[in-house]
Amino acid sequence: MKKIVNYLAPVLCMMTIMFSVASCNKADAATPAGQPVDLTYAAEKSLPSVVHIKYVQNSKVKTIDVQSDPFSDFFSDPFGGFFGGGNRGGTQKRQVQTPKRTATGSGVIISADGYIVTNNHVVEGADELTVTLNDNKEYSARIIGTDKTTDLALIKIDGKNLPAIVIANSDDIKVGEWVLAVGNPFGLNNTVTAGIVSAKARSLGANAVESFIQTDAAINSGNSGGALVNTRGELVGINAMLYSQTGSYSGYGFAIPTAIMNKVVDDIKKYGSVQRALLGIAGIDVKNYVDVQKEQGKEIDLGTMEGIYVDTVEDDCAASDAGIQKGDVITAIDGQNVKKMAELMEIMYKKRPGDKVTITYLHNKKEQKKTVTLKNEQGNTKVVKNADLDVLGAFFKEITDAQKKQLNITYGVEVVKVNGGKLKDVGVSKGFIIQKINGESIKTLDDLQEIVKEASKKEPVLYIQGIYPTGKKTYFAVPLQE
């Protein structure tokens, strides 16, 4: 469970823009006389759909840089160390054995064929994931896709006729409405706590995109990825964080609304990654901006106290196409009012590149409306897919100590076979050792995989530097898209 020790100061947030489809299936629940809500019904409906997730990260050997110890150098190599031939004042490469790590969290079954939603921080870096259902059946799970921006992940188990939860539209819940938090806090499986929706569209500054549902239902470590459900037992949010000054529950927890979750799941299933469209501004709530100006002795009149003050506008983006400038105030998107940044985040996150939106804003306190087409991080409206090593059409392995000594290098990944694919297209052949891609050092296969994925989202070209077994150094530019 992520912890927020204190509320963070308002920050300028770069906006992403998406589209969402949420299902809303209603179930009628009788309310017993004398009870304001039937919490037993909601618990019975939701408990079978919430799972326990065990995370395992195996022990690994890693090479790290450590500060050079002049006495260590002296004793291991007295002549080199004493007379300056060692690494005095520099760094040394050392191999360390990382310990095996285990952790637990929660997840929610969203389809009968085994798709489960949880938090990214529950599964990130896992070598093994074991899912235990409410009836104690165990399954191995695999990661389908993750999204750090929203702290969501989609995993899957091989099962049939699983108890999938009904997904409600989180936009419909109201402040003051009763909700249940269902999960596995502190290893106490199948735990249900009750409370109300304390606030909506809450931002804490922990993730790049946030519009949390705030609740006073108790959420603790292990609840991460669990369900926040309404009184009908329908999913309205994925529990993600607690607010605490002690590290344990002390009043408020926060859940990612299904309006955002559905978009993430849909994109991962269709495209393998979340499709982001940039609004292209950095901004802050108008109230927070005015408060800061007052503290500096300045009186500011923006024509409203609700909306998002625009601090910067990127070139060639939706906001600049709409004519928005620094100092303007965005008040609505597609006719839906936005009073603060978190509300704007949630609306925009439901959009995809290529969608058209109407932006309402104040310029010199006069209202303007412009309809524009949204673009992705690459400045176009194409679908951006995560590339993996398959797109390169080759097999790789980390270089040996003998290769390092022979070529006088300290790291690299060797191309051991080239089939069809991007590397063959640009002339990379077997034996070539990749050392850097887009300026980043490639020391392991994980480094290679990560840089290929990241490049596919942003600048879809790999600028590869490396060396052949003959000692010849060369450079290739490898486009990942046609």
Of 410, 458, 399, the closest CA to residue 432 belongs to 399
Task: Please classify residue 321 by burial: count the beta carbons closer than 10 Å to its beta carbon, then call 0-12 exposed, 13-18 middle and 19+ buried.
Answer: middle
Q: Is 365 left (phi over 0), alpha (psi -120 to 50) or beta?
A: left
Q: How far apart are CA 215 and CA 372, in angstroms?
A: 36
R_g of the chain, CA atoms, integer Å: 26
Q: Is 363 a catalytic residue?
A: no
- With a CB cutoff of 8 Å and minimum separation 6, the contacts of 83 are none
Q: How far apart are CA 338 and CA 358, in angstroms?
A: 13
Q: Is 23 a catalytic residue?
A: no
The end-to-end CA distance of the chain, in Å, is 41
**C-beta of residue 412 within 8 angstroms of C-beta of residue 466:** yes
Q: How far apart are CA 213 and CA 261, in angstroms?
A: 12
Q: How far apart are CA 120 and CA 219, in angstroms?
A: 17
What is 89-118 written as a DSSP string?
Answer: TSEEEEEEEPPPEEEEEEEEE-STTSEEEE
Q: How far is CA 279 from the centre of its chain?
A: 18
Which one of 106, 170, 211, 224 is the catalytic residue? 224
Q: Is 121 a catalytic residue?
A: yes
Which one of 52, 73, 147, 151 is the catalytic residue? 151
Which one of 106, 121, 198, 244 is the catalytic residue? 121
Q: How far apart are CA 338 and CA 360, in angstroms?
A: 10
Which residues are known to be catalytic? 121, 151, 224
